């Protein structure tokens, strides 16, 4: 019998119902953190979640939402940008690409790229932005291969935090 391998959107209720599975895949998040952050993000405008499944097992996911002033990540990143960069990258309607994770045994099989592409497919905004650790070479390679550009080479979200870079992608060519 053929296995059913799919990427599909999940609605908010299904995302929240699968939070235990999501926590297993999300390496930096504890179950408590998933139970706090994910519902808050799921309530934001433009929330979209894509699930990669193999015979019903969640093997990866990506999600994001429309960024806006007053949101923690948005406001911290805005302080690192020039006024011109802020207008370009954080204009109303920009999409914040928040998370992309694949179970270790399913990596290097195209799931990350497919989850990336499906999450961004059909967005109406002009730009998307994300952050990733400066030393996360697999993630940086995936994003560079899809035309993301570094807009902030290094910043930390907490005083003793690991360094991140901020990347931007034009969803509509300028």
Question: Which pLDDT tens digit goes with each residue over 133-145?
Answer: 999 999 999 999 9
pLDDT for the residue 35: 83
Q: If you classify domain 5-170 with CATH, what class do you get?
A: alpha beta
Gap between the Cα atoms of 169 and 142, Å rounded: 13
Which residue's entry shows tokens 């179970």?
Answer: 103
Per-domain residue ranges for the chain?
5-170
Gap between the Cα atoms of 61 and 49, Å rounded: 7
Better-scored residue on pLDDT, 72 or 160: 72
Quick check: 142 and 113 in contact, CB under 8 A? yes
Gap between the Cα atoms of 120 and 115, Å rounded: 9
pLDDT for the residue 7: 95
The confidence band for 1, taking pLDDT boundaries of 50, 70 and 90, is very low
Q: How many CA atoms lie within 13 A of 38 on its CB side?
A: 26
CA 10 to chain centre: 15
Quick check: 90 and 128 in contact, CB under 8 A? no
Which residue's entry shows tokens 């930390």?
Answer: 156
Quick check: 163 and 154 in contact, CB under 8 A? yes
Question: Which pLDDT tens digit goes with each residue over 69-111?
Answer: 999 999 999 999 999 999 999 999 999 999 999 998 988 888 9
% of the chain residues with pLDDT over 70: 94
Question: Which pLDDT tens digit goes with each residue over 2-14?
Answer: 556 799 999 999 9
Q: How many residues does the chain have?
A: 174
- Please compute Rg for the chain using Cα positions: 16
Q: What are 71's two structure tokens?
A: 């949101």
The whole-model pTM stands at 0.92
């Amino acid at each position: 019998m053929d296995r059913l391998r799919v990427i599909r959107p999940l609605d908010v209720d299904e995302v929240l119902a699968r939070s235990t599975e999501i926590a297993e895949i999300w390496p930096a998040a504890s179950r408590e953190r998933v139970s706090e952050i994910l519902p808050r993000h799921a309530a934001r405008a433009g929330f979209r979640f894509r699930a990669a499944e193999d015979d019903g097992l969640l093997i990866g996911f990506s999600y994001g939402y429309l960024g806006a002033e007053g949101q923690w990540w948005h406001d911290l990143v805005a302080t690192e940008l020039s006024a011109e960069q802020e207008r370009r990258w954080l204009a109303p309607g920009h999409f914040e690409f928040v998370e992309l994770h694949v179970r270790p045994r399913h990596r290097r099989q195209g799931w990350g790229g497919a989850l990336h592409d499906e999450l961004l497919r059909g967005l109406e905004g002009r730009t998307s932005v994300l952050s990733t650790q400066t030393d996360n070479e697999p993630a940086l390679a995936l994003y560079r291969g899809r035309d993301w550009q570094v807009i902030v080479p290094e910043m930390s979200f907490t005083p003793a935090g690991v360094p991140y870079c901020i990347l931007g992608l034009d969803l509509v060519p300028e």
